[in-house]
């Protein structure tokens, strides 16, 4: 999984999960935090009807 903000691969998985059970990640390069549902290509595909 690459950072959606800076495309870095230096992602750290947090031990905590969200209330819905999604894994959380943090970018060590830019510090951005998100879970597996809030960032990335998958979410984009679902929220952008073609
Ligand atoms: Zn980043």
Q: pLDDT by residue for the chain (50 residues), tens digit each?
A: 788 889 999 999 999 888 888 899 899 999 998 888 765 544 444 455 55
Give the model's pLDDT for residue 9. Answer: 93
Distance from the CA of 8 to the center of ligand 1, in angstroms?
Answer: 5
Q: Answer whether 25's CB lies under 8 Å from 12's CB.
A: yes
Give the model's pLDDT for residue 49. Answer: 53
What CA–CA distance (Å, rounded) separates 48 from 42?
Answer: 10
Domain boundaries, the chain: 11-47
Give the model's pLDDT for residue 18. Answer: 85
Distance from the CA of 31 to the center of ligand 1, in angstroms?
Answer: 6
Distance from the CA of 46 to the center of ligand 1, in angstroms?
Answer: 22
Distance from the CA of 13 to the center of ligand 1, in angstroms?
Answer: 13
What CA–CA distance (Å, rounded) separates 2 from 40?
Answer: 8
């Amino acid at each position: 999984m690459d950072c959606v903000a800076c495309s870095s691969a230096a992602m750290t998985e947090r031990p905590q999960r969200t209330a819905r059970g999604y894994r959380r990640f943090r970018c060590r390069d830019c510090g951005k935090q998100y879970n597996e549902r809030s960032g990335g290509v998958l979410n984009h595909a679902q929220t952008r009807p073609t």
